[in-house]
Chain A
Amino acid sequence: AQKITQTQPGMFVQEKEAVTLDCTYDTSDPSYGLFWYKQPSSGEMIFLIYQGSYDQQNATEGRYSLNFQKARKSANLVISASQLGDSAMYFCAMMNSGGYQKVTFGTGTKLQVIP
């Protein structure tokens, strides 16, 4: 069974500062994918970034980077230069190998960016 843990129910960050959202996972499958989604109050789940279990380098997408530490089973999201529009719920998620298997979501972290 796979499990995702997000221990920060809510976070505050000052505009233009960087923030790290924590995510740890547990799986016995050697092949898996880790992602982060952003969900604004409008409801849409916006795909942010993906890290494969065999990827050697940490994933980056613009202001988003994923700090992947395989031995510690952590996949933290780093948002640099926070913007007011970054205020949203952030979900860490995992899917095991196969591509069409079940995605396991964490409980989410609500990020609020303060002007």
Chain B
Amino acid sequence: DTEVTQTPKHLVMGMTNKKSLKCEQHMGHRAMYWYKQKAKKPPELMFVYSYEKLSINESVPSRFSPECPNSSLLNLHLHALQPEDSALYLCASSQEGRFEQFFGPGTRLTVL
């Protein structure tokens, strides 16, 4: 298995909802990442997990809560989001000792 999968592909939620984004990889990668990408902009790093521990949090608001239950799975829990949080959320993974990251197809999130 050489891909990163993300579910759902699209998500529409209200500002009072609680939802979760899911990312999965079975390549044995020990680092996983969440990025946020607004239209016509490059991806912005949100979180990095290394060996299932949070290693980087790029000052992301607490309404985004990451979780790494095991080495293959990465979740992003969403609560009380704002309309400006609407974006493409990308998950990526990388192998230890390698620079390149492999991305999933993303979840397009719309907050109403």
Contact between chains at A43 and B88 (CB < 8 Å)? yes
Interface size bucket, B side? 20 to 34
Contact for B98 among A43, A45, A99, A108, CB less than 8 A: A99
Contact between chains at A105 and B94 (CB < 8 Å)? no
Please give me the residue from chain B that is nearest to A45 by CB atom: B103
Interface size bucket, A side? 20 to 34
Instruction: Please report B residues at the A interface, Cβ cutoff 8 Å.
Output: 31, 37, 40-43, 45, 48, 50, 55-56, 58, 88, 90, 92, 94-106, 108
Q: Is A47 an interface residue (CB 8 A)?
A: yes
Would A42 and B100 be within 8 Å (CB), given that A99-B31, A106-B42 are in contact?
Answer: no
Would A50 and B100 be within 8 Å (CB), given that A43-B105, A43-B108, A99-B94 are in contact?
Answer: yes
A91 to B97, CA, bound (A): 22
How many Å from the CB of A70 to the closest CB on chain B?
16
- Name 5 extra pairs, CB < 8 A, besides A43-B37, A44-B103: A35-B99, A43-B106, A47-B101, A100-B48, A102-B58
